Chain A
Amino acid sequence: DGGITQSPKYLFRKEGQNVTLSCEQNLNHDAMYWYRQDPGQGLRLIYYSQIVNDFQKGDIAEGYSVSREKKESFPLTVTSAQKNPTAFYLCASRDRVNYGYTFGSGTRLTVV
């Protein structure tokens, strides 16, 4: 079955460390997205990419970086510059035909 795989499901980071969250899709979707969700809140867009080797900042890009070297993969790096990284991170991709979004199951990041 096609879908989006995020790994790991849970991640613990020490303060001052960079960590990379994985997102892989086999849906042949061009566009991919990273969202952040805090408890009791909606989703906020971090970065998105509409095509390989191109990406754009979303509403809360500071302290994050991304790459899009392959259509299937859109990893997110949470850098030490992100002051409050503890959150639930969601990766999504979008179908160009009916514009529906497919989400991964998320990565819960905790700073210890």
Chain B
Amino acid sequence: DAKTTQPPSMDCAEGRAANLPCNHSTISGNEYVYWYRQIHSQGPQYIIHGLKNNETNEMASLIITEDRKSSTLILPHATLRDTAVYYCIVRVPGANNLFFGTGTRLTVIP
């Protein structure tokens, strides 16, 4: 799986958009970008994934650059409950190991 680079921490004001970046410059053509988040002392929660097109669901939007070397997860209106560690993972679907690095710790501030 390709290695990813994320900032260790970010703050966001409640109600504002949170934009979490991820670099994955060595991503290969058949690897998808997945995002998970982990609220303290809970299991990781799937958020969204994509290959090359931008994706949106009820939780977030995923913007992938045209060269696929980086992506941004967007939480459009952050709430206090969005405070968590966010993990960006690139992998081939069906691969048997999710490489979770240390992620980005997002703190939503009232």
Contacts and interface: CB of A to CB of B under 8 A. Distances in A.
Interface in A70-112: 88, 90, 92, 96, 98-106, 108
A6 B41 CA distance: 13
Please report whether the interface of chain A is mostly helix, strand, loop or mixed according to DSSP: strand
Please report whether the interface of chain B is mostly helix, strand, loop or mixed according to DSSP: loop
Interface stretch (B14-22, B70-78, B93-101): B93-101
Contacts of B94: 96, 99
Contacts of A42: 87, 99-103
A103 B99 CA distance: 14
Interface residues on A, range: 20 to 34
Given A102-B46, A106-B43, A108-B41, A48 B98 contact: no
Contacts, number: 50
A31 interface: yes
B28 to A, nearest CB: 16
Contact of B43 (A41, A50, A92, A96): A92
Given A56-B96, A103-B43, 19 more contacts: A4-B43, A6-B43, A31-B96, A33-B96, A35-B100, A43-B44, A45-B98, A58-B97, A88-B41, A90-B44, A96-B94, A99-B94, A101-B46, A102-B46, A103-B45, A105-B42, A106-B41, A106-B42, A108-B41
